[in-house]
Amino acid sequence: MDMLATIAPLLLMFVLFYFLLIRPQQKRQKAVTQMQTDLKKGDKVVTIGGLHGFVDAIDEDKIVIKCGDGSRLTYDRQAVREVTESSAGDLLSK
């Protein structure tokens, strides 16, 4: 019984860490990965460096982003932080 009283606080701390830190981080990472795999041509995106633009072309692990002045820049898919607007074709299908 004394051993259970010693282990119980450690188990409780592990459970709290899991639900407060580990599980939310896993959910966020899964959502980011899903967003990066669902990128489509025409999506308005923001990169982790702060570049705003539209997806012009998509490869398996790279995307080409068209910026405001017409220049095209190549980035890794993992460099996309968020999609601010879905493509026009996606909006018409809803």
| 40-94 CATH pick, 3.40.50.300, 2.30.30.30, 2.60.40.2550, 3.40.50.10490 | 2.30.30.30
Give the pLDDT of residue 92. Answer: 44
Residue 11 has pLDDT above 90, yes or no: yes
Q: Which residues contact 65 (CB under 8 A, 6 or more apart)?
A: 45, 47, 51, 53, 54, 55, 56, 72, 73, 74, 75
Produce one character per residue of 7-23: b if its CB has 16 or more CB atoms within 10 Å, e if not: eeeeeeeeeeeeeeeee
Distance in angstroms (rounded) separating the CA atoms of residues 52 and 66: 9
Q: Taking the domains of the chain in order of start, what are their residue ranges?
A: 1-37, 40-94
- Could you read off the pLDDT of 28-50 as tens digits, one per residue? 999 999 999 999 999 999 999 99
In the chain, what percentage of residues exceed pLDDT 70?
93
- Could you read off the pLDDT of 75-90 as tens digits, one per residue? 999 999 999 988 765 5
Distance in angstroms (rounded) separating the CA atoms of residues 16 and 21: 8
